[in-house]
Structure formats: structure tokens, C-alpha cells
């Protein structure tokens, strides 16, 4: 990362010296993109397109496609990637471009198209790391299609190519928990995933969910703590932490956790149900009731009736790219 920042500084000096060099603007735009400075990358690509003598440059449009992809402008990203491959059918990053198009199709809910593209890319590569990544994405597409057996088989294939593929381990563990209630296997897979990629907050969160289901509360708390350290702005983690506190009868701590979740995502239905459940359970606790009473009108506006709930809920869906 330090080298990229050095490159940005050098290229900034270069365009300051000659602001009509389109290729330098292109290199600067790509470096900005690599350090996730999307706004400056966008501006630099505009300069590149304006000044470059031949805009039909596959690498230029590859970078523009990446930028649109990062912005979530998937239609424009696919147009840029298609332009890239048309300009140079032998583009050196051909497999990566098609792989990204497959992922975008997955993001857009075009699951069958995504599978066709990903299987096509799979036939064209023989690198184990690439094959592991592709099988992992294929597994996730099947998971989204609710074809769980095929999803598990794909994740297992990913692990055959790369036994330390953290995402495949993570998703395989979650499927064992969610669809089979196989806590032991789920925890084993998720522990391995978190050991391999300890900075991935989602893995710790899912591990905490499994520990909770297995009634291993101390281990669940430790996993949630790691998840918060990795991603303190994930409302699902705070919601689940609130559920843990609720089960341990730490109602004030549960309310604090639910409050954090609501501040991060006021539209998360599960947390509002859980607040209603908490209100019902501690109606006689004056310490909690005073704070809960303040929000009662809001719950009623949302159609939430505290006494209608039998226990706290947690969000089962999660985002993964």
C-alpha cells in the first residue's frame, strides 16, 4: 500500500508537469482505484479519456470497468468490460474480466447467466488459486438459488483446490448450521475460516451465531467481540450481541446493543422485534422500563406489539460478494 501511495505522489507530479499526457492520467487513475480513492480515480479517468490519443485501449476500459464496479454501477461496469474484451480479444486479464462479469451477474440476480460465465471461465484456467475462487463463487450462486446440495459440493471443490480458502470454509460452515443444525461441523469450518482470515468480521459473526445456538455463551461473546473489532458498524452483530445479553438476563446491556443496532440501521426488522421482546420481559424493571417507554410509540408506529413475541430474532441473511 505504501508503494501505491508513493506511485500516486510521483504520478501527481508528472501530470502537474504535463497535464495533457493521457497515459499518465490513466496510470494515476488506476493507482487511485487501488487505494480506494474512487472520486479522484473517476476524475483522473475523465482526464485520461479526454487526452489519450487512442481511447480504444483495453487496459483503460478494464480500469474504468473496475471503477464502475466499485461504485455499484453494474450496467456501466459490464459495458466497460465488454468494450475491453472487444478491443483486445487476447487481453492478458481476459479471465479476470469475465470472472468479474460473472460476479456482477450474480449481484444483479441473474444467477443462470452467472453460472454459465463462471463455468466457462473455469474451463479456461488451471491455476489452483483461480479454480478455488471460481468454485467458491459458483457455490454462492447455488446458495442464492437455494440449491444447497450443489452449493456445498461447489464449496468442497473450492477447498480441494485451496484447503485454506477462507470464504468457502465460511459459507460451508454457515450452511451446515443453517440447513442441518450441525453445530459441530459448522463451528469447525468457521473456526478455520476465522483463523485464516482474522480480519473478516462476517466469519467471526457467523461463528458467534453457531456458538450461541450451541449454548456456548462465553465463546459466542468472544466471537462477537472479534466481529465488532473488525466491523463496528455492522448492525447485525450488535443485534446478535443484544440477543446474547438477553439470554444471559443482562437486560441493560441488551438494550444498549439493540440501540447501537438501531442507530446503524433503523430499518432492521429483527432488532425492533427484539426490543419489543425485551420490553415485555423487563416491564417490571424500572431501570430499563424508563428508557424503553421512550421508544414505545415508535414501535407502535411500526406495527410492533411487544407481547406478541416469544423470543428474540436474528437476521439470517448476509451480504457477500
Integer Cα distance of 279 and 254 in angstroms: 11
Q: Identify whether 36 is part of a domain.
A: no
- Residue 320, domain CATH: 1.25.40
Residue 11 within any structural domain of the chain: no
- Local structure of 124: helix, strand or coil: helix
The domain in which residue 252 lies consists of 233-321
The tally of domains found in the chain comes to 1
H/E segment holding residue 87: helix 74-87
Summarize the confidence of residues 184-201 as an average pLDDT. Answer: 95
pLDDT at 292: 52
Q: Is residue 284 part of a domain?
A: yes
Q: Calculate mean pLDDT across residues 195-224.
A: 95
pLDDT digits (tens, 9 = 90+) for 269-289: 888 888 888 887 776 555 555
Structural domain contains residue 320: yes
Q: For position 285, what pLDDT does the model report?
A: 58
Q: Is the dihedral of CA 169, 172, 178, 182 positive or negative?
A: negative
d(CA 83, CA 97): 11
φ, ψ of residue 83 to 5 degrees: the values are -60, -40
Segment 75-94 mean pLDDT: 94
Give domain status of residue 315, yes or no. Answer: yes
Looking at the domain assignment, is residue 252 inside a domain? yes
Q: Is 317 part of any domain?
A: yes
d(CA 289, CA 294): 9
Confidence tier at 55 by pLDDT (50, 70, 90): confident
Q: Is 146 within a domain?
A: no
Tell me how far apart the alpha carbons of residues 281 and 20 are, in angstroms, rounded to a whole number.
68
Amino acid at each position: 500500500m505504501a508503494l501505491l501511495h508513493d506511485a500516486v505522489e510521483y504520478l501527481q507530479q508528472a501530470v502537474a508537469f504535463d497535464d495533457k499526457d493521457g497515459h499518465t492520467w490513466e496510470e494515476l487513475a488506476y493507482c487511485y482505484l487501488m487505494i480506494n480513492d474512487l472520486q479522484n480515480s473517476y476524475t483522473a479517468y475523465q482526464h485520461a479519456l479526454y487526452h489519450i490519443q487512442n481511447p480504444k485501449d483495453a487496459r483503460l476500459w478494464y480500469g474504468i470497468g473496475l471503477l464502475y464496479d466499485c461504485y455499484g454501477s453494474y450496467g456501466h461496469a459490464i459495458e466497460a468490460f465488454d468494450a475491453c474484451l472487444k478491443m483486445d480479444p487476447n487481453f492478458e486479464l481476459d479471465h479476470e474480466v469475465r470472472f468479474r462479469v460473472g460476479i456482477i451477474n450474480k449481484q444483479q440476480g441473474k444467477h443462470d447467466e452467472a453460472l454459465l460465465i463462471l463455468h466457462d471461465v473455469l474451463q479456461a484456467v488451471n491455476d489452483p488459486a483461480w479454480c478455488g475462487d471460481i468454485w467458491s463463487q459458483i457455490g454462492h450462486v447455488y446458495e442464492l438459488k437455494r440449491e444447497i446440495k450443489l452449493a456445498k459440493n461447489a464449496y468442497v471443490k473450492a477447498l480441494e483446490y485451496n484447503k485454506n480458502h477462507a470464504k468457502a470454509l465460511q459459507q460451508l460452515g454457515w450452511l451446515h448450521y443453517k440447513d442441518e443444525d450441525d453445530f459441530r461441523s459448522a463451528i469447525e469450518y468457521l473456526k478455520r475460516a476465522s483463523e485464516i482470515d482474522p480480519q473478516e468480521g462476517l466469519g467471526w459473526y457467523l461463528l458467534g451465531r453457531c456458538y450461541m445456538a450451541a449454548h456456548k455463551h462465553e465463546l459466542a461473546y468472544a466471537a462477537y467481540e472479534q466481529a465488532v473489532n473488525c466491523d463496528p458498524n455492522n448492525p447485525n452483530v450488535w443485534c446478535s450481541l443484544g440477543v446474547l445479553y438477553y439470554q444471559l438476563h443482562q437486560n441493560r446491556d441488551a438494550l444498549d446493543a439493540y440501540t447501537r443496532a438501531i442507530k446503524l440501521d433503523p430499518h432492521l426488522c429483527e432488532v425492533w422485534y427484539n426490543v419489543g421482546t425485551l420490553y415485555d420481559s423487563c416491564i417490571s424493571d424500572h431501570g430499563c422500563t424508563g428508557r424503553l417507554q421512550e421508544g414505545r410509540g415508535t414501535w407502535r408506529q411500526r406495527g410492533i406489539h411487544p407481547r406478541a413475541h416469544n423470543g428474540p430474532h436474528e437476521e439470517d441473511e448476509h451480504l457477500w460478494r
